[in-house]
Amino acid sequence: MKNLLIGLFALVSAVSVYAADSSSGCGMGWEVAPKQSLVSSSTRSIVNATFSNTIAMTLGTSGCAKHSIVKNDAKGIHFAEANMNQLAIEMARGNGEFVNGFASVFGCQNSRAFGSMVQSKYESVLPSATTSGVELYNNVKAEIKNNATLASSCSLI
């Protein structure tokens, strides 16, 4: 009898916690079970786990807010695409207004070290005339990660 009462108390406590589900509300599970109840919360969890849509949830295409990492990458990619020609010229020199701006996109405090790195790794970060802004951004990001000084001083990596 004692175990039955403890079990019943635990069940009532759990129901009261989930009855006022205030989670953010995104993903396929929220499309299937939009109500805020224990049953809806459980259904959302099962749907989101069964039909894994992590990519869509992270990128913000399933009603979720975009993850901050994705937002940071979008800013950097936009900067690279919009300023591709000028970046190519200044990265070959290792300095300039656009290189400094690109360094700030990655949160790099030491723009001189950033400029030196992109100049020395020019062939890696910009391997051809057809390199896209996305490729440039990803190549520079990879080189920052491989550079001990920049990896520790660039906050958005």
How much is the pLDDT for 157?
73
Residue 19 confidence (pLDDT): 43
Of 146, 142, 144, nearest to 134 by C-alpha is 142
The pLDDT confidence band at residue 43, using thresholds 50, 70 and 90, is confident
Q: How far is the C-alpha of 108 from the C-alpha of 93, rounded, in Å? A: 18
Distance of alpha carbon 124 from alpha carbon 144, whole angstroms: 12
Question: Is the entire prediction scored with pTM above 0.75?
Answer: no
Could you state, in order of their start, the residue ranges of all structural domains in the chain?
2-59, 68-153
State the Cα–Cα distance between residues 78 and 76, nearest whole angstrom.
5
Average pLDDT, the chain: 78
Max avg pLDDT among 1-10, 13-22, 27-36, 100-109: 100-109
Helix 84-93 with 111-120: angle, nearest 10 deg: 90
pLDDT tens-digit map of 117-147: 999 999 999 999 999 999 999 999 999 999 9
For 33: left if phi > 0, alpha if psi spans -120 to 50, otherwise beta; the answer is beta
Q: What is the pLDDT of residue 44?
A: 66
**Polymer length of the chain:** 157
Radius of gyration, alpha carbons of the chain: 24
List pLDDT tens digits, range 68-100: 555 678 889 999 999 999 999 999 999 999 999
Lowest-confidence range among 10-14, 41-45, 136-140? Answer: 10-14
Q: What pLDDT, on a 0 to 100 scale, did the predictor assign at position 139?
A: 96
